[in-house]
Amino acid sequence: MLNLLLPNEHVKSIFDINPEALKQKGIKGIITDLDNTLVAWDVANATPEITEWFKRMKAHNIKVTIISNNTWERVKIFSEPLNTPFLFSARKPLRHAFNRAAKEMKLNKDEIVVIGDQVLTDVLGGNFAGFYTILVVPIVQTDGKVTQFNRKIERRILSYMRKKGKISWEE
């Protein structure tokens, strides 16, 4: 059970994920979280750097779908200018949204990576659905109320896993 909470990789930022490395692993698609993964949770639009990251993925024929537990309006405002498909109210960590995104991308699970900043939603959901997962450090240290609660649990889980030698990165 605890292995479902372990990401396959851990990186500091979405910008540490490049299309060349993904292609070498056979990755053709990305399912990514939005809030605190791509931009701070209270920032509505993509930054120029994020826009460029999306362009790089597209130039390498890597499909990107955003899935978020947030509202339709929040995810639409962010995704539409990027011309990126999205799923809202995803109910992560449940598998449905992850599987739906893969189906809409017309890719197999082994061709997709899931990227997010939360162990209890993104990593757990991605692993539970059978995808390769990458945990990124949250962009900002503030969160909405539900996420604040999740972060407390997440810190305890990561501390336990660090003590057991299952993870080696620093927060």
Question: How do residues 21-80 score in pLDDT, each as one tens digit?
Answer: 999 999 999 999 999 999 988 888 999 999 999 999 999 999 999 999 999 999 999 999
69-127: per-residue pLDDT in tens?
999 999 999 999 999 999 999 999 999 999 999 999 999 999 999 999 999 999 999 99
Domains and CATH numbers, the chain: 2-140 (3.40.50.1000)
Could you tell me which residues are beta bridge partners of residue 134? 9, 115
Sign of the CA dihedral 122, 52, 17, 39? Answer: negative
Per DSSP, the three-state class of 99 is helix
Q: DSSP 3-state assignment of 32?
A: strand
Of 9, 67, 1, 72, which is closest to residue 34 (Cα–Cα)?
A: 67
